[in-house]
Each structure stands twice: as C-alpha cells, then as structure tokens.
C-alpha cells in the first residue's frame, strides 16, 4: 500500500515536470492520472488497489460517527427517565481480532456503542470484558459488535 | 443577509445541542449509581457535547468572520480519539483498585475469570 502511494506521488511529480508548471492544481491533475494508471495496472501489485483500503477506513470512520450519535441518544433517554430501572453488569465477549491496534480500535468502538463500555482485556487478547448499562438488551449490542464492527475493522487490515 | 442568518441559526443549534448534551452528562454523573454507569454518561455525552460546540464555533468563524481555525478541527479530532480511551482507563483503574459494582448489578464475568486464574496460580 505504501509503495502504491509513493508511486502515485512520483507519477504526479513526473506530470508536473512534463507540464513544467509547479502549481498545486497541476499536482492534483497528475495525481489523478497516476491513480488511473495504478488502477489499470492493479493486477501487477502484491497488495490490493490502495483506494479500496482508503474506502474501508472511511466506512469505519462513518460507523464511529453513527455509533456516537446512537450512544448519546440512549444515554439521554436513560438519564432523563424519571425512574432508574437498569440492570448493569460485566460480561465477557470473545473476539477474533489478533493485532493490538485492531483490538484498540474495537474497544474504542464498543465504548461508543449504546450502553457498553470496555473494562478490561484479557492477557491473551482473546476476550474483552464489557460493562453494560442494561444486561437484558445486550444481544443486540453483541450482534452489532460481531457483525458490523469486527467486519469493518477486518476490511481495513486485510 | 439571509445566508448569514441561516448560518447563524445552524451555529446556534450546534452550540445549544452541545451545551444540552454536556448538561445531560452532568445529570448522569449525579443520578447514576456507581462509577461504571456514571462513566457511560461521562464518556459518551461529554464527547459529543464538546465536539458539537467546537464544530459550531468552527462554522461560525469560517462563514461569518472568514477565518478558518485549524486548531478547532484538531481539538475535535483529538477529543474524538482520546475520550473513549479515557473512559476505558477510568473504569479499568476503578475495577483494579477494587471498586464494587452497584448492588443491583446482575453478572460479573471479569470477577469470575479473575478468580479462576487465581485458583490456577495457587
């Protein structure tokens, strides 16, 4: 991926020298044409076309924003309700992610999901201990963690 | 003229919403029963509250005063990155120093697993 970006910059500079105009506009035009060239030759690189990964990062970021808003909505409902009827608790969640940064991102995402907060990670990096505001509607949260978050993170690291 | 009015209205909405969420976070800190549940309110509502306030300020200065303040953008980005980490660390530190869960809490898998590990060690 790093190699492709470097190549793209190189092609942009070549374009600038060919046009012999050194403005940011011609740099971006060159970058765009370089992107097209890399896209056409994408089969000859070891890794995927790098815009795919950039796209995956953007999807992950939007997921973060969406979860932040949902979490605020649920906390708001809970705090402003006249009676507190919650059943908090800590439950264990096994994760399939391996690398440290992946688990960090997943823990941050879980902290921003409605009603859940990571308390601890086990020593072998296999289990996350999550404090939940209401243990009864936890199935939904586990579902979204397993299906959407882990997949979105794997999409980036693959 | 009307454009600036519309922009001012949006700025007002953003900042008021941010202030409201901060208020909710403060309410949550008072009302909820123990460290862990209070942490929920603090780590979620406060994040979005501060972010929305900063966003409103950014929009105001960009459109009304024609001045793009990149430091506000940096502030938003860093709050977004650091506040979940802070929430996690506070609850972890609380658990490790032995703060009890609220009396009506249902399960505690972490305590169970810790006990198991201690048994195996001894």
* Alpha-carbon Rg for chain A in angstroms: 22
Given this model, what pLDDT does residue B105 score? Answer: 66
Q: Mean of the pLDDT values across residues B44-55? A: 88
Q: Kindly report the backbone phi and psi dihedral angles of residue A134, in degrees, each rounded to the nearest multiple of 5, phi listed first.
A: -135, 110
Given this model, what pLDDT does residue B122 score? Answer: 56
d(CA A21, CA A44): 31
Tokens at residue B102, please? 């609220």
Q: Which residues of A touch B21 (CB under 8 A)?
A: 72, 76
- Torsion, Cα A139 A124 A151 B36, to 10 degrees, reads 40
Average model confidence (pLDDT) across chain A: 82
| pLDDT over 80 (residue B103) | no
Domains in chain A: boundaries: 2-44, 56-157
Sign of the alpha-carbon dihedral angle for A96, A100, A104, A105: negative
**A73 near A112, Cβ under 8 Å?**
no
Write out the residues of chain A at the interface with chain B, using a CB-CB cutoff of 8 A. Answer: 64, 68-69, 71-72, 75-76, 78-80, 84, 86-92, 107-108, 111-112, 115, 117-120, 122, 127, 129, 131, 133, 135
Given this model, what pLDDT does residue B29 score? Answer: 86
- Is 3.30.420 the CATH classification of the domain at A56-157? no
Burial bucket for residue B8 (CB in 10 Å: 0-12, 13-18, 19+): middle
| pLDDT over 80 (residue B86) | yes
**B72 near B54, Cβ under 8 Å?**
yes
Question: Whose CA is closest to B14, among B43, B50, B44?
Answer: B50
| % of chain A at pLDDT higher than 90 | 4
| ipTM of the complex model | 0.73
Domains in chain B: boundaries: 2-121
d(CA A158, CA A148): 15
CA distance B1 to chain A (A): 32
| % of chain A at pLDDT higher than 70 | 99
Given this model, what pLDDT does residue B32 score? Answer: 80
């Amino acid at each position: 991926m790093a190699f492709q970006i470097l190549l793209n910059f190189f092609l942009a500079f070549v374009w600038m020298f060919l046009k012999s105009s050194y403005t940011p506009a011609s740099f971006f035009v060159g970058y765009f044409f370089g992107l097209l060239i890399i896209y056409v030759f994408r089969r000859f690189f070891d890794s995927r076309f790098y815009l795919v990964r950039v796209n995956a990062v953007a999807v992950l970021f939007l997921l973060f924003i969406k979860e932040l808003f949902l979490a605020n909505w649920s906390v708001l409902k809970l705090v402003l309700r006249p009676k507190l009827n919650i059943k908090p608790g800590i439950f264990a969640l096994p994760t399939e992610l391996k690398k440290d940064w992946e688990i960090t991102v997943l823990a941050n995402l879980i902290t921003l999901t409605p009603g859940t907060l990571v308390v601890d990670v086990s020593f072998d990096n296999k289990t996350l201990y999550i404090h939940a505001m209401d243990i009864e509607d936890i199935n939904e949260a586990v579902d979204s963690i397993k299906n959407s978050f882990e997949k979105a993170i794997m999409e980036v690291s693959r | 003229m009307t454009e600036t009015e519309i922009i001012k209205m949006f700025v007002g909405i953003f900042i008021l919403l941010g202030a409201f969420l901060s208020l909710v976070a403060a309410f949550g800190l008072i009302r909820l029963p123990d460290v862990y549940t209070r942490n929920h309110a603090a780590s979620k509502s406060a994040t979005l509250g501060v972010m929305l306030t900063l966003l409103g300020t950014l929009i105001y200065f960009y459109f009304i005063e024609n001045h793009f303040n990149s430091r506000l953008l940096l502030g938003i980005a860093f709050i977004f990155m650091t506040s979940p980490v802070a929430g996690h660390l506070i609850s972890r530190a609380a658990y490790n120093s032995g703060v009890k869960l609220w009396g009506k809490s249902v399960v505690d898998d972490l305590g169970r697993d810790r006990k198991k590990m201690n048994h195996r060690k001894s």
